[in-house]
Amino acid sequence: MKTLNLDSEENSKLLTSDTLKYTHTYFGIHFGGTNSRGILAYADANWAPVYPSWPADKTSMPFELLPVLTITHPDGKSLELSENVAIDIFLAKQFGLHGNNAWEEALINSYYSHSNSMFFQETMFNYFWESAEKSDEERAKYLQKYLNETLPGWAKIHESNLVHNHSNGHYIGNRTTLADIRTTTLLAAIEELFGKESIASVINETKTPAIAKLRATIEGKPSYAAWIHSDVYKKLSAGSKDFVKQQHPEL
Protein backbone atom coordinates (compact mmCIF):
# COMPACT_ATOMS: atom_id res chain seq x y z
CA MET A 1 0.00 0.00 0.00
CA LYS A 2 1.32 3.44 -0.95
CA THR A 3 1.37 6.33 1.48
CA LEU A 4 0.74 9.95 0.54
CA ASN A 5 3.62 12.39 -0.01
CA LEU A 6 3.74 14.74 2.98
CA ASP A 7 6.34 17.26 1.77
CA SER A 8 3.81 20.07 1.49
CA GLU A 9 6.20 22.95 0.78
CA GLU A 10 7.98 21.26 -2.12
CA ASN A 11 4.78 19.78 -3.51
CA SER A 12 2.97 23.12 -3.44
CA LYS A 13 5.73 24.58 -5.61
CA LEU A 14 5.34 21.73 -8.10
CA LEU A 15 1.63 22.44 -8.41
CA THR A 16 2.22 25.99 -9.67
CA SER A 17 3.38 24.69 -13.06
CA ASP A 18 1.15 25.49 -16.04
CA THR A 19 2.10 22.24 -17.77
CA LEU A 20 0.99 19.62 -15.26
CA LYS A 21 -0.47 16.36 -16.49
CA TYR A 22 -3.28 14.60 -14.64
CA THR A 23 -4.43 11.01 -14.69
CA HIS A 24 -7.65 9.92 -13.07
CA THR A 25 -7.87 6.28 -12.02
CA TYR A 26 -11.32 4.78 -11.62
CA PHE A 27 -13.45 1.98 -13.03
CA GLY A 28 -14.76 2.18 -16.60
CA ILE A 29 -18.10 3.64 -15.50
CA HIS A 30 -19.35 7.10 -14.52
CA PHE A 31 -20.78 7.34 -11.00
CA GLY A 32 -17.97 7.62 -8.41
CA GLY A 33 -15.59 9.07 -10.99
CA THR A 34 -17.95 11.40 -12.79
CA ASN A 35 -17.40 14.65 -10.90
CA SER A 36 -13.61 14.83 -10.83
CA ARG A 37 -13.56 13.84 -14.50
CA GLY A 38 -16.09 16.61 -15.09
CA ILE A 39 -13.90 19.20 -13.37
CA LEU A 40 -10.87 18.17 -15.42
CA ALA A 41 -12.92 18.39 -18.61
CA TYR A 42 -14.46 21.75 -17.73
CA ALA A 43 -11.02 23.16 -16.92
CA ASP A 44 -9.69 21.81 -20.23
CA ALA A 45 -6.84 20.22 -18.30
CA ASN A 46 -4.22 17.93 -19.79
CA TRP A 47 -5.63 14.71 -18.41
CA ALA A 48 -6.43 11.10 -19.21
CA PRO A 49 -8.60 8.41 -17.61
CA VAL A 50 -6.96 5.22 -16.35
CA TYR A 51 -8.91 2.03 -15.71
CA PRO A 52 -7.28 -0.26 -13.14
CA SER A 53 -7.21 -4.02 -13.02
CA TRP A 54 -9.24 -4.65 -9.89
CA PRO A 55 -8.61 -6.06 -7.33
CA ALA A 56 -5.09 -6.80 -8.62
CA ASP A 57 -4.12 -3.11 -8.43
CA LYS A 58 -5.77 -2.52 -5.06
CA THR A 59 -2.63 -2.70 -2.92
CA SER A 60 -0.82 -0.20 -5.15
CA MET A 61 -3.38 2.51 -4.37
CA PRO A 62 -3.23 4.92 -1.43
CA PHE A 63 -5.97 3.79 0.98
CA GLU A 64 -6.52 0.79 -1.36
CA LEU A 65 -9.54 2.61 -2.79
CA LEU A 66 -10.60 4.46 -5.93
CA PRO A 67 -10.58 7.04 -7.37
CA VAL A 68 -6.96 8.19 -7.39
CA LEU A 69 -5.69 11.39 -8.96
CA THR A 70 -2.08 11.50 -10.15
CA ILE A 71 -0.46 14.85 -10.93
CA THR A 72 2.76 14.75 -12.94
CA HIS A 73 5.20 17.67 -13.22
CA PRO A 74 7.24 18.21 -16.41
CA ASP A 75 10.38 17.15 -14.51
CA GLY A 76 8.82 13.72 -13.95
CA LYS A 77 7.90 14.08 -10.29
CA SER A 78 4.37 12.94 -9.48
CA LEU A 79 1.90 13.24 -6.63
CA GLU A 80 -1.09 11.09 -5.78
CA LEU A 81 -4.31 12.00 -4.02
CA SER A 82 -7.16 9.75 -2.89
CA GLU A 83 -10.82 10.17 -1.90
CA ASN A 84 -13.52 11.82 -4.02
CA VAL A 85 -14.10 14.88 -1.86
CA ALA A 86 -10.39 15.63 -1.44
CA ILE A 87 -9.81 15.25 -5.18
CA ASP A 88 -12.80 17.40 -6.14
CA ILE A 89 -11.93 20.26 -3.80
CA PHE A 90 -8.25 20.14 -4.78
CA LEU A 91 -9.11 20.33 -8.48
CA ALA A 92 -11.64 23.10 -7.91
CA LYS A 93 -9.01 25.21 -6.18
CA GLN A 94 -6.37 24.28 -8.73
CA PHE A 95 -8.51 25.57 -11.60
CA GLY A 96 -10.11 28.60 -9.96
CA LEU A 97 -13.48 26.92 -9.43
CA HIS A 98 -13.74 27.50 -5.69
CA GLY A 99 -14.45 30.48 -3.45
CA ASN A 100 -12.74 33.85 -3.43
CA ASN A 101 -13.01 34.08 0.36
CA ALA A 102 -13.71 31.87 3.37
CA TRP A 103 -17.49 32.39 3.26
CA GLU A 104 -17.75 31.65 -0.45
CA GLU A 105 -15.74 28.47 0.10
CA ALA A 106 -18.10 27.43 2.88
CA LEU A 107 -21.18 28.06 0.72
CA ILE A 108 -19.72 26.23 -2.26
CA ASN A 109 -18.77 23.29 -0.06
CA SER A 110 -22.31 23.23 1.36
CA TYR A 111 -24.01 23.05 -2.04
CA TYR A 112 -21.41 20.57 -3.27
CA SER A 113 -21.73 18.39 -0.16
CA HIS A 114 -25.52 18.27 -0.40
CA SER A 115 -25.43 17.15 -4.03
CA ASN A 116 -22.61 14.73 -3.26
CA SER A 117 -24.69 13.18 -0.47
CA MET A 118 -27.67 13.06 -2.80
CA PHE A 119 -25.65 10.82 -5.10
CA PHE A 120 -23.59 8.64 -2.78
CA GLN A 121 -25.98 8.33 0.18
CA GLU A 122 -29.50 8.80 -1.15
CA THR A 123 -29.06 7.39 -4.65
CA MET A 124 -26.38 4.72 -4.47
CA PHE A 125 -26.73 3.52 -0.89
CA ASN A 126 -30.35 4.14 0.14
CA TYR A 127 -31.80 3.25 -3.25
CA PHE A 128 -29.40 1.33 -5.51
CA TRP A 129 -27.64 -1.05 -3.14
CA GLU A 130 -30.31 -1.29 -0.45
CA SER A 131 -33.00 -2.29 -2.94
CA ALA A 132 -30.81 -4.56 -5.10
CA GLU A 133 -31.65 -7.72 -3.15
CA LYS A 134 -35.33 -6.91 -2.66
CA SER A 135 -38.32 -8.42 -4.45
CA ASP A 136 -39.64 -6.82 -7.64
CA GLU A 137 -42.53 -5.31 -5.69
CA GLU A 138 -40.23 -3.82 -3.06
CA ARG A 139 -37.86 -2.47 -5.72
CA ALA A 140 -40.76 -0.67 -7.34
CA LYS A 141 -41.61 0.97 -4.02
CA TYR A 142 -38.00 2.10 -3.55
CA LEU A 143 -37.99 3.57 -7.04
CA GLN A 144 -41.26 5.43 -6.55
CA LYS A 145 -40.05 6.87 -3.26
CA TYR A 146 -36.85 8.08 -4.92
CA LEU A 147 -38.63 9.68 -7.88
CA ASN A 148 -41.59 11.04 -5.92
CA GLU A 149 -39.92 12.15 -2.67
CA THR A 150 -36.12 12.03 -2.60
CA LEU A 151 -35.30 13.66 -5.93
CA PRO A 152 -38.06 16.31 -5.76
CA GLY A 153 -36.88 17.19 -2.24
CA TRP A 154 -33.34 17.77 -3.47
CA ALA A 155 -34.62 19.70 -6.49
CA LYS A 156 -36.82 22.00 -4.39
CA ILE A 157 -33.87 23.04 -2.22
CA HIS A 158 -31.46 23.66 -5.07
CA GLU A 159 -33.99 25.38 -7.31
CA SER A 160 -34.75 27.79 -4.46
CA ASN A 161 -31.09 28.59 -3.89
CA LEU A 162 -30.41 29.12 -7.58
CA VAL A 163 -33.44 31.41 -7.90
CA HIS A 164 -32.10 33.34 -4.91
CA ASN A 165 -28.96 33.96 -7.00
CA HIS A 166 -31.11 35.49 -9.78
CA SER A 167 -31.45 32.25 -11.79
CA ASN A 168 -28.25 33.08 -13.63
CA GLY A 169 -26.97 29.52 -13.99
CA HIS A 170 -24.71 29.60 -10.93
CA TYR A 171 -24.89 29.15 -7.18
CA ILE A 172 -22.35 31.86 -6.34
CA GLY A 173 -22.13 35.20 -8.11
CA ASN A 174 -21.92 34.91 -11.87
CA ARG A 175 -19.19 32.31 -12.25
CA THR A 176 -18.78 28.56 -12.36
CA THR A 177 -17.73 26.78 -9.19
CA LEU A 178 -17.41 23.25 -7.87
CA ALA A 179 -21.06 23.38 -6.77
CA ASP A 180 -22.28 24.00 -10.34
CA ILE A 181 -20.26 21.12 -11.74
CA ARG A 182 -21.35 18.72 -8.98
CA THR A 183 -25.03 19.38 -9.69
CA THR A 184 -24.46 18.87 -13.41
CA THR A 185 -22.58 15.60 -12.96
CA LEU A 186 -25.14 14.41 -10.40
CA LEU A 187 -27.95 14.85 -12.92
CA ALA A 188 -25.99 13.09 -15.65
CA ALA A 189 -25.18 10.20 -13.31
CA ILE A 190 -28.74 9.62 -12.17
CA GLU A 191 -29.87 9.70 -15.80
CA GLU A 192 -27.48 6.81 -16.38
CA LEU A 193 -29.21 4.97 -13.54
CA PHE A 194 -32.88 5.71 -14.10
CA GLY A 195 -33.04 6.91 -17.70
CA LYS A 196 -33.44 10.46 -19.00
CA GLU A 197 -37.24 10.31 -19.16
CA SER A 198 -37.61 9.38 -15.49
CA ILE A 199 -35.35 12.21 -14.35
CA ALA A 200 -36.97 14.67 -16.77
CA SER A 201 -40.30 14.06 -15.05
CA VAL A 202 -38.81 15.83 -12.01
CA ILE A 203 -36.01 18.03 -13.36
CA ASN A 204 -37.02 20.03 -16.43
CA GLU A 205 -37.24 23.57 -17.80
CA THR A 206 -40.82 23.98 -16.54
CA LYS A 207 -40.55 22.62 -13.00
CA THR A 208 -36.92 23.51 -12.28
CA PRO A 209 -35.85 26.20 -14.78
CA ALA A 210 -32.95 27.44 -12.66
CA ILE A 211 -31.44 23.96 -12.34
CA ALA A 212 -31.96 23.41 -16.07
CA LYS A 213 -30.17 26.68 -16.83
CA LEU A 214 -27.25 25.76 -14.57
CA ARG A 215 -26.80 22.45 -16.35
CA ALA A 216 -27.05 24.06 -19.78
CA THR A 217 -24.45 26.63 -18.72
CA ILE A 218 -21.93 23.98 -17.69
CA GLU A 219 -22.61 21.66 -20.61
CA GLY A 220 -22.41 24.60 -22.99
CA LYS A 221 -18.73 25.23 -22.33
CA PRO A 222 -16.81 23.87 -25.35
CA SER A 223 -14.33 21.76 -23.39
CA TYR A 224 -17.12 20.19 -21.32
CA ALA A 225 -19.36 19.69 -24.34
CA ALA A 226 -16.48 17.94 -26.12
CA TRP A 227 -16.06 15.63 -23.11
CA ILE A 228 -19.69 14.52 -22.83
CA HIS A 229 -19.86 13.88 -26.58
CA SER A 230 -16.53 12.05 -26.76
CA ASP A 231 -16.08 8.36 -27.53
CA VAL A 232 -14.47 7.90 -24.11
CA TYR A 233 -17.54 9.30 -22.37
CA LYS A 234 -19.85 7.13 -24.49
CA LYS A 235 -17.85 4.03 -23.52
CA LEU A 236 -18.20 5.00 -19.86
CA SER A 237 -21.95 5.32 -20.40
CA ALA A 238 -22.07 1.85 -21.94
CA GLY A 239 -20.09 0.45 -19.01
CA SER A 240 -22.43 2.22 -16.60
CA LYS A 241 -25.51 0.68 -18.21
CA ASP A 242 -23.98 -2.80 -17.94
CA PHE A 243 -23.16 -2.17 -14.28
CA VAL A 244 -26.71 -1.02 -13.53
CA LYS A 245 -28.30 -3.99 -15.30
CA GLN A 246 -26.24 -6.44 -13.25
CA GLN A 247 -27.88 -5.18 -10.05
CA HIS A 248 -31.18 -3.79 -11.35
CA PRO A 249 -32.34 -5.56 -14.53
CA GLU A 250 -35.63 -3.66 -14.28
CA LEU A 251 -34.02 -0.27 -14.91
Q: Where are the alpha helices (DSSP H) in 21-121?
A: 34-42, 84-94, 102-117
Determine contact, residues 62/68, Cβ cutoff 8 Å: yes
> For residue 40, is it within any domain?
yes
Statement: residue 12 has pLDDT above 90: no
CATH number at residue 54: 3.40.30.10
78 DSSP β-pair partners: 72
Identify the band that residue 1 occupies on the pLDDT scale cut at 50, 70 and 90.
low
Give the number of domains in the chain. Answer: 2
What tens digit of pLDDT does each residue of 17-61 get?
999 999 999 999 999 999 999 999 999 999 999 999 999 999 999
pLDDT above 70: percentage of residues in the chain: 98
Counting beta carbons within 10 angstroms of the beta carbon of residue 166, is it exposed (0 to 12), middle (13 to 18) or buried (19 or more)? exposed
Last residue of a domain, one of 94, 114, 143: 94
Please give the model's pTM, rounded to 2 decimal places. Answer: 0.96
What tens digit of pLDDT does each residue of 129-170 get?
999 999 999 999 999 999 999 999 999 999 999 999 999 999
Last residue of a domain, one of 29, 64, 94: 94
What tens digit of pLDDT does each residue of 53-70 get?
999 999 999 999 999 999
CA 63 to chain CA mean position, Å: 20
> Which of helix, strand or coil describes residue 44?
coil
> For residue 21, is it within any domain?
yes
DSSP string, 204-234: STTT-HHHHHHHHHHHTSHHHHHHHTSHHHH
What tens digit of pLDDT does each residue of 88-131 get?
999 999 999 999 999 999 999 999 999 999 999 999 999 999 99
- Say what the pLDDT of residue 9 is: 85
> For residue 2, is it within any domain?
no
Same domain? For 111 and 77 the reply is: no
- Say what the pLDDT of residue 201 is: 97
Same domain? For 142 and 76 the reply is: no
One-letter amino acid of 44? D
Give the residue numbers spanning the domain of 229. 102-247
CATH number at residue 149: 1.20.1050.10
